[in-house]
Structure formats: structure tokens, C-alpha cells
Amino acid sequence: MTLAGDATHDPALRSWVGSANDPASDFPIQNLPYGRFRRRGGTEPWRVGVAIGDGVLDLHAAGLGRGPDIAEVLSLPVAERRDLRVRLSQALRAGSSDETRLRACLVAQTDVELGVPCEIRDFTDFYAGIHHARAVGSLFRPDSPLLPNYQWVPIGYHGRASSVYASGIDFRRPHGQVKPPGEAAPRLAPSARLDYELELGIVIGRGNEPGVPVTLADAEAHVAGLTLLNDWSARDVQAWEYQPLGPFLAKNFATTVSPWIVTLEALAPFRERFGRALGDPSPLPYLDSPANRESGVIGIELEVWLQTAAMRERGDRGVRLSTSSFRDAYWTLAQLVAHHTVNGCNLGTGDLLGTGTLSGPEPSQGGSLLELSRGGQQPVPLGNGEQRTFLADGDTVILRGYCERPGARRIGFGECRATVLPARAGVG
């Protein structure tokens, strides 16, 4: 399962795309994530692109892809996927004989519209962030924040693929049934406790046949890569509706994903050992292996930024609310895929699996306002005189992610952003 490093990870590699050589770029030649784009203001269909510096390489026009459908790239067998990465790296590196030809296939990111990186076939959201689970559980069960099954089974629920939106697509504050404390009956109202959730999205490349589980050893061969994911949540709607069947309208109105799929090949230099805290139960055999323990973790650093309407009017880029890391997740991505299919569930190309909220161990590392504000009891100061317990209309939430370590080139995920618009008038 471990992805061995190769020449494409060499930190000394440089590209003929000058912006890719900027140390601050999310998209150096060592990254090469896939996405979909079309020229801004046009009516052309989505095309498969590869991010390189501040540009997008049209994969089909460059003659490096099988066709204009990104599913054909994502579903490649691992060996072919790695071969395509090598060919892209060779074509884009400084001194390549392909430079003159490929310059005509390169478009500035400022000139394109970036969409959802692939057609989302289905969506499952997990609950793999144990620090989030403990923080939220402690608000309702101070003496026993984790339910008995949490450390044994990867918890998840079936989400709504139709409301997965691309970064930059804003959404309206949702309506739903809410029942404030002390009121005898619920009422339909716009959510007053709207929240974000800092997550990663796992994009399935190759599916499995119905009734045939994916083993832990094979799980990562079915994963095309990762995105940033914000699973917006209406906490007041959720509190009233979630028992006994779990999330419904509180979650299915909007989920935002970043436009680039960062491949597992690009993430290979950032693998780490996976282990459990002393005293925690060992996973059941189908969720455990020496390879998963050796390199199941990916060291992805995560940030949440908030830009209020007042900040935007002043030209202020916003304030960083929290930081956390994927290494603190309780389950690896291989375990999530293996568990999802152990009952015979068939995954398909373009299926999206959310990790669940990825919070850190410290109170300041909450991946949601629910945690940072202690359920709305402690307003979060924003440093400009404003404060928040939950999101206000006009707030823009920006998720960022990146990997870095000595001896490797820093790579990033781009941004996952959206703005909360006022609730639609006249509902109900």
C-alpha cells in the first residue's frame, strides 16, 4: 500500500511554467492535481485540467489524456495512473522538448471557471475526527463524550450528491424545523446556528463489484485522491431532527469541495505511521494490517479562515480561526474505504467520502464553530471588534490545506470557499 517515491517527487525539479517554481505555490511540478475547467464566460463543456503554478494544462489538448471525461483518468489502474504522472512531469519540467507545443494548451487560472473536480456519483460522510467527536460529545454527555461504538467502527451516514458544489459557489441560509428551548412546538425558520465543518474529501477512482468487499490492502488502489471539503451544518435544525436516524435537512443543503484532486502519488512523501493511543482497542482484523500501521497516515495540515462582510469591504483577507491536521484522524482513508465496502456495498468512480470534521487536540483547534464557541456559549473574537458564535449572512469561509516536510517540496490543495447568502424570503 505504501506509495514509493520516484523522480517526480524530487524537490529540485523545476518547471518551464515559472509560477510553479514559487515556493509559496500550491501547485509545483511535484503536485499535478486533476480538475475540471472551462473558459470563463464561455459555453464549452468541462475539460480535464492539471494545475501547474497559476495555470491549467488542458490534458486532452496536450495529448496526454484518454479523452475529455475526467472519469477516464480517475479510474485508471494504479500503474497507468503513475505512468501518466511521470509523462506529465517530464513534459512540464524545465528543458522539456514539449514546452513549445504545450504552451498553447496552458490557460491562466484567472481566465477559467473551475467546477466540481469530477461528477459526484454518491456521497458518504464519515466521523473520523476523534477530537471533534469528543468536543461535541462533551457538550451533551460530559461524563461519556464518546459513544461505545466510536473506537470500533468508522461511523458514517449517506449524504446528498446533488448539493455538492464547487468552491466559489455561494449558497443561501437554509430553512428547517427548529424547536428552541421552552417552546411547546417546533416552527419552520431560517437556521440561526449555521456552521462549517473542516473536512477532507476522498474521491473514489476505481469502483468495486456489488457484493465484493475491498480489502484494506487494496483500498488505496481504489482512491484517486483527496480534496478539501466543507460540510455546512444547520446545528439548530440538526438538534431537533437527528434522532433517531441521524442527519437529514441539517446537512443536505450544501457541501463545498475544492476544485483540485490531489493524487495519492503526489502525497507519497508525506506518509507517516498510524497508531492508536495507549489503552485504545486495536481495530478488528479487516481494518488492521502492518502496511496500514506503517504508512496509513498522510500529514496534511489544515486551516480555516473567516472573512466577514465588513472585512471584505475593507479589503481584509480575513482571520484564521483554527489549524489542525489529518494525522489526528482516528481512521485512515484505507480503513474508511474498506469499512464502507465490507458489507458488499459497491463504490463507483466519482464517489465522494467525507472524513468528518478534522479537529486538533487543543480547544483552539476545533474544526467547527460549534466547538470553538462551546455550543454558542463563548463567542469567538475576530480581532476587529466582531465576534461569532455561528455564521452570519455575508460570511465567507475559506479552507486551506497543504503538506510540507524537510526534503520534500511543499504542495497544496488550493482553496475551498463559499459565502453565506441571506435565507430566501417567503419560504413556509
Cα-flanking dihedrals φ and ψ of residue 109, to 5°?
A: -60, -25
Query: Which amino acid makes up residue 120?
Result: I
Give the list of residues 6+ apart from residue 63 with CB closer than 8 angstroms, or none: none
194 strand-pairing partners = 234
Task: Lay out the sheet containing 396-403: strands in order across.
Answer: 171-172, 411-421, 396-403, 301-307, 319-325
DSSP 52-119: ETTEEEETTTTT-SSSS-HHHHHTS-HHHHHHHHHHHHHHHBTT-TTHHHHHTTEEEGGGEEE--SS-
CA distance 369 to 388: 8
DSSP 287-323: G--HHHHHH-EE--EEEEEEE-HHHHHTT---EEEEE
Place of cell 471533534: 132
> How many CB atoms lie under 10 A from the CB of residue 107?
19
Cα-flanking dihedrals φ and ψ of residue 139, to 5°?
A: -70, -25
Q: Are 40 and 46 in contact (CB under 8 A)?
A: no
Most distant pair of Cα atoms in the chain: their distance: 74
Burial of 319 per CB tally in 10 Å (0-12, 13-18, 19+): middle
CA distance 336 to 353: 8
Indicate the DSSP class of residue 15. Answer: B
Closest by CA position to 247, among listed 166, 331, 181, 156 = 156
Residue tagged active-site, from 9, 132, 222, 340? 132
132 in catalytic set: yes
CA distance 428 to 81: 50
Active site residues: 132
